[in-house]
Amino acid sequence: MANDIVQFKDVSVDFKQDKKVVQAVSDVSFGIPEGQIFGIAGYSGAGKSTLVRTINLLQKPTSGEVDVFGEIFYKKVGKEVTLISESKLRKERRKIGMIFQHYNLLDEKTVQQNVEFALKHSGLKSKQISEKAVRLLTDVGLEKLAKYYPSQLSGGQQQRVAIARALANDPKILISDEATSALDPENTIQILDLLKDLNRKYQLTVILITHEMDAIKRICDEVAIMDSGKVVEIGSLIDIFVKSTNPVVRQIVGNDFDALSILKSLNIDTNNRNLVKLVYYSQEISQPIIVDLYAKFNVSASIVYADIEEFGSQTVGIMIVDLNGDDAQIKQALDYLNGLDVEVTELRGEA
Ligand X SMILES: Nc1ncnc2c1ncn2[C@@H]1O[C@H](COP(=O)(O)OP(=O)(O)OP(=O)(O)O)[C@@H](O)[C@H]1O
157 binds ligand X (CB under 6 A): no
215 binds ligand X (CB under 6 A): no
The region of 38-46, 60-68, 167-175, 263-271 touching ligand X under the rule CB under 6 A is 38-46
Coil, strand or helix at 74: strand
Alpha helical stretches, state H, 171-211: 185-202
126 binds ligand X (CB under 6 A): no
The strand pair at 71-77 and 63-68 is best described as antiparallel
Looking at residues 48 to 87 of the shown chain, list those that interact with ligand X (rule: CB under 6 A): 48-50
Q: Which is nearer to ligand X, 49 or 274 (CB)?
A: 49
Q: Which is nearer to ligand X, 67 or 178 (CB)?
A: 178
Q: Which is nearer to ligand X, 57 or 347 (CB)?
A: 57
> In the chain, how many H helices and how many E strands?
12, 15
Size of the site for ligand X (CB under 6 A): 13
**Cβ(117)–Cβ(109) under 8 Å?**
yes
Which residue from 350, 128, 139 is spatially nearest to 260, judged by alpha carbons? 350
Which residue from 63, 67, 60 is spatially nearest to 77, judged by alpha carbons? 63
Give the separation between CA 22 and CA 253, rounded to whole angstroms: 25
Angle at 38 between CA 312 and CA 209, to 5 degrees: 105
165 binds ligand X (CB under 6 A): no
Give the separation between CA 331 and CA 335, rounded to whole angstroms: 6
CA torsion sign for 116, 122, 126, 129 is: negative
Q: Which is nearer to ligand X, 146 or 234 (CB)?
A: 234
Give the separation between CA 302 and CA 274, rounded to whole angstroms: 10
DSSP state of 89: H
Q: Measure the N-to-C terminal CA separation of the chain; round to a whole number of Å.
A: 41
The region of 47-55, 160-168, 293-301, 317-325 touching ligand X under the rule CB under 6 A is 47-55
291 binds ligand X (CB under 6 A): no
47 binds ligand X (CB under 6 A): yes
Angle at 39 between CA 34 and CA 44, to 5 degrees: 145
Looking at residues 220 to 279 of the shown chain, list those that interact with ligand X (rule: CB under 6 A): none
Read off the amino acid at residue 196: K
Give the separation between CA 324 and CA 330, rounded to whole angstroms: 8
Give the separation between CA 60 and CA 76, rounded to whole angstroms: 10
**Cβ(117)–Cβ(159) under 8 Å?**
no
112 binds ligand X (CB under 6 A): no
Selected from 5, 24, 179, 249, the binder of ligand X by CB under 6 A is: 24
**Residue 34, phi-psi category: left (phi > 0), alpha (psi -120 to 50), beta (remainder):** beta
42 binds ligand X (CB under 6 A): yes
Draw the binding track, 136-155, toward ligand X (x: CB under 6 A; -: no contact).
--------------------
Q: In angstroms, give the least distance from the CB of 8 to ligand X.
A: 14
46 binds ligand X (CB under 6 A): yes
39 binds ligand X (CB under 6 A): no
Q: Which is nearer to ligand X, 27 or 322 (CB)?
A: 27
The 10 Å Cβ neighbour count of residue 119 is 19
312 binds ligand X (CB under 6 A): no
The region of 28-36, 40-48, 146-154, 165-173 touching ligand X under the rule CB under 6 A is 40-48
The region of 41-49, 124-132, 243-251, 264-272 touching ligand X under the rule CB under 6 A is 41-49
Selected from 33, 35, 45, 254, the binder of ligand X by CB under 6 A is: 45
Looking at residues 3 to 22 of the shown chain, list those that interact with ligand X (rule: CB under 6 A): 15, 17, 22
Looking at residues 173 to 212 of the shown chain, list those that interact with ligand X (rule: CB under 6 A): 178
The region of 42-50, 129-137, 168-176, 308-316 touching ligand X under the rule CB under 6 A is 42-50
Q: Which is nearer to ligand X, 14 or 309 (CB)?
A: 14
Name the site residues for ligand X (rule: CB under 6 A).
15, 17, 22, 24, 42, 44-50, 178
